[in-house]
């Protein structure tokens, strides 16, 4: 007789595989790549099938929400009730596979766990609402739910006969391991986010000796560095977007023309978002490549958002510092309570400045310096543990910076589109 609690050979093999995978992941780095499905190469059946994917995903997601126990749902169900008007109708799930349903059920469960954790921390939370549209379908297992053919630039999805042609296969390096993926629908186009794992590599800093830099955030000049470089980046709203908004407002709700105009609006907004993302990535890439230590202060960006609203959305400082924290070699975050603007970077004297005062004038040592530049120098000194002390006889501490590296930063940032980089003195702010 077989012992009840003894694992079957199949479960033992699965457990051994998972254990080996966890050990292997410790020596790997996760990276996500985006592939775009070529819509022009889709046949009529595949177009309908892809649309049906996301329609059934919405039905199944909302069906999981109405279950008594969302953590124990039947992912093999083939027919579910869908509310149409005041009544429920039975709809067949012809396109979604069982693994796709498992991924959607996991999304609901993760959302419930996140709300429960917020409630434990004292936050006031509500409940999950029904979705009007589901734009993400998890593909849990490589070679089962989806399969990539890199040489042919094709991808095979479960329960879809046609092999979809995708753009972006050339970005995959050799020797990577494919994991799960996500099928996304954005403004009428389809994308595939593929999770891969690479062997860990150490990337040394290119500067010798390692240099440090301080960064002060603002609205007039988004970034001011401790080497005297000020950076301002704003992406102007195109006139085409405003015209498209007027056309969209004229269309009747629920009409097909309104849906077409909404897709056009989403594409225009997506283009602006991608431009801002590219600017942030290039700024962060230069800082991580040339500076080993990056010192910045944790600002209260939520309060800034309440005060200045749209300006904060245009510059997206929160995303910049989040990416900088993830990618820099030694991110040094200064506490929010540190008086970077009030303190003199030469002698340490403290004084309060009104917001409209853009020049810092120290009454003790006579320092006359730009407000943001002085704050960036204070952040650099605080991050390195070189806080200036009060009293006579103190040796002044200056950051290690060469004119050649400053000019290199100016040339690099000025070459970026929609970016204006200049020295603080040249900007007319001192």
**Span 100-135, pLDDT tens digits:** 999 999 999 999 999 999 999 999 988 899 999 999
Q: What is the pLDDT along the chain (430 residues), one digit of tens a residue?
A: 444 456 788 888 888 888 888 888 888 899 999 999 999 999 999 999 999 999 999 999 999 999 999 999 999 999 999 988 888 999 999 999 999 999 999 999 999 999 999 999 999 988 899 999 999 999 999 999 999 999 999 999 999 999 999 999 999 998 899 999 999 999 889 999 999 999 887 655 454 456 889 988 887 788 889 888 888 888 888 888 889 989 998 999 889 899 899 889 988 988 888 888 999 999 999 998 888 888 988 887 777 777 777 777 677 788 888 888 888 888 888 888 888 888 888 888 888 888 788 888 888 887 888 888 888 988 888 888 876 654 433 334 444 455 667 888 888 888 888 888 888 864 444 4
Which of 245, 248, 218 lies closest to 230, judged by CA? Answer: 218
User: What does the pLDDT read at residue 219?
Assistant: 79
Determine how many CB atoms are found less than 10 A away from the CB of residue 24: 12
What is the end-to-end Cα distance of the chain in Å, rounded? 87
User: Containing H/E element for 120?
Assistant: helix 98-120
User: What does the pLDDT read at residue 160?
Assistant: 94
Q: Is the peptide bond before 323 cis (omega within 30 degrees of 0)?
A: no
**Distance from C-alpha of 143 to C-alpha of 148, rounded to nearest angstrom:** 8
User: What does the pLDDT read at residue 430?
Assistant: 43
Q: Per DSSP, what are the bridge partners of residue 214?
A: 295
User: What does the pLDDT read at residue 6?
Assistant: 62
> Residue with structure tokens 């996140």?
114
Do the strands 189-199 and 164-167 form a parallel or antiparallel pair, or are they unpaired?
A: unpaired
**Distance from C-alpha of 194 to C-alpha of 35, rounded to nearest angstrom:** 8
User: What does the pLDDT read at residue 209?
Assistant: 53
- Alpha carbon of 396 to those of 227, 293, 344, 387: distances in Å? 16, 21, 12, 10
**Distance from C-alpha of 317 to C-alpha of 311, rounded to nearest angstrom:** 10
- Alpha carbon of 187 to those of 194, 241, 267: distances in Å? 20, 15, 6
**Span 358-382, pLDDT tens digits:** 888 888 887 888 888 888 988 888 8
Cβ burial of 37 (10 Å; 0-12, 13-18, 19+) is: buried
Are 384 and 295 contacting, i.e. CB atoms less than 8 angstroms apart?
A: yes
**Angle, helix 256-290 to helix 317-327, in steps of 10 degrees:** 50
User: What does the pLDDT read at residue 394?
Assistant: 39
Tokens of 19: 């254990």
Output DSSP code: residue 242: H
**Angle, helix 44-65 to helix 98-120, in steps of 10 degrees:** 40
Are 48 and 42 contacting, i.e. CB atoms less than 8 angstroms apart?
A: no
Count of positions (residues) in the chain: 430
Annotate 55-70 with DSSP letters as a single string.
HHHHHHHHHHHTSS-T
Annotate 251-277 with DSSP letters as a single string.
SPTT-HHHHHHHHHHHHHHHHHHHHHH
User: What does the pLDDT read at residue 385?
Assistant: 81
Contacts with 429 (C-beta within 8 Å, 6 or more apart), sequence order? 221, 230, 358, 359, 370, 372
Are 402 and 312 contacting, i.e. CB atoms less than 8 angstroms apart?
A: no
Is residue 261 helix, strand or coil? Answer: helix
> Residue with structure tokens 């400045």?
353
Q: How far is CA 365 from the centre of its chain?
A: 44
Cβ burial of 103 (10 Å; 0-12, 13-18, 19+) is: buried
**Distance from C-alpha of 182 to C-alpha of 184, rounded to nearest angstrom:** 6
**Distance from C-alpha of 308 to C-alpha of 372, rounded to nearest angstrom:** 18
Contacts with 293 (C-beta within 8 Å, 6 or more apart), sequence order? 210, 211, 212, 213, 329, 330, 332, 383, 384
**Distance from C-alpha of 36 to C-alpha of 400, rounded to nearest angstrom:** 45
């Amino acid at each position: 007789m077989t012992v009840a609690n003894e694992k079957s050979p199949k479960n033992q093999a699965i457990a051994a595989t998972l254990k080996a995978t966890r050990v292997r992941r410790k020596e790997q780095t996760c990276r996500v790549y985006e592939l775009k499905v070529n819509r022009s190469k889709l046949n009529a059946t595949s177009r309908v099938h892809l649309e049906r994917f996301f329609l059934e995903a919405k039905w199944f997601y909302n069906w999981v929400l109405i279950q008594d126990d969302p953590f124990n749902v039947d992912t093999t169900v083939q027919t579910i009730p869908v509310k149409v008007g005041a009544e429920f109708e039975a709809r067949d799930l012809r396109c979604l596979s069982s693994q796709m349903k498992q991924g959607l059920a996991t999304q609901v469960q993760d959302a419930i766990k996140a709300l429960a954790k917020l409630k434990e921390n004292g936050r006031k939370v509500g409940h999950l609402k029904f979705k009007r549209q589901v734009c993400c379908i998890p593909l849990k297992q490589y070679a089962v739910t989806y399969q990539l053919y890199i040489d042919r630039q094709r991808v095979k999805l479960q329960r879809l006969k046609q092999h979809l042609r995708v753009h972006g296969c050339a970005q995959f390096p050799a020797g990577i391991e494919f994991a799960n993926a996500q099928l996304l629908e954005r403004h009428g186009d389809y994308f595939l986010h593929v999770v891969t794992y690479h062997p860990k590599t150490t990337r040394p800093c290119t500067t010798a000796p390692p240099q440090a830099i301080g960064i002060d955030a603002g609205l007039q000049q988004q970034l001011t560095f401790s080497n005297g470089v000020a950076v301002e980046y704003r992406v102007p709203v195109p006139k085409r977007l405003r015209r498209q908004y007027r056309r969209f407002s004229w269309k009747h709700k629920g009409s097909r023309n309104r849906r077409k105009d909404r897709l056009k609006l989403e594409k225009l907004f997506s283009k602006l978002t991608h431009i801002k993302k590219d600017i942030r990535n290039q700024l962060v890439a230069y800082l991580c490549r040339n500076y080993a230590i990056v010192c910045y202060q944790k600002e209260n960006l939520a309060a800034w958002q309440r005060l200045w609203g749209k300006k904060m959305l245009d510059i997206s400082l929160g995303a910049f510092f989040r990416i900088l924290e993830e990618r820099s070699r030694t991110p040094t975050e200064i506490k929010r309570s540190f008086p970077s603007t009030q303190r003199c970077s030469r002698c340490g004297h403290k004084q309060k400045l009104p917001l409209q005062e853009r020049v810092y004038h120290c009454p003790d040592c006579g320092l006359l310096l730009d407000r943001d530049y002085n704050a960036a120098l204070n952040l650099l000194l605080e991050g390195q543990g070189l806080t200036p002390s009060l009293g006579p006889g103190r040796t002044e501490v200056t950051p290690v910076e060469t004119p050649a590296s400053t000019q290199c930063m100016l040339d690099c940032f000025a070459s970026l589109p929609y970016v204006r980089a200049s020295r603080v003195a040249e900007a007319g702010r001192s």
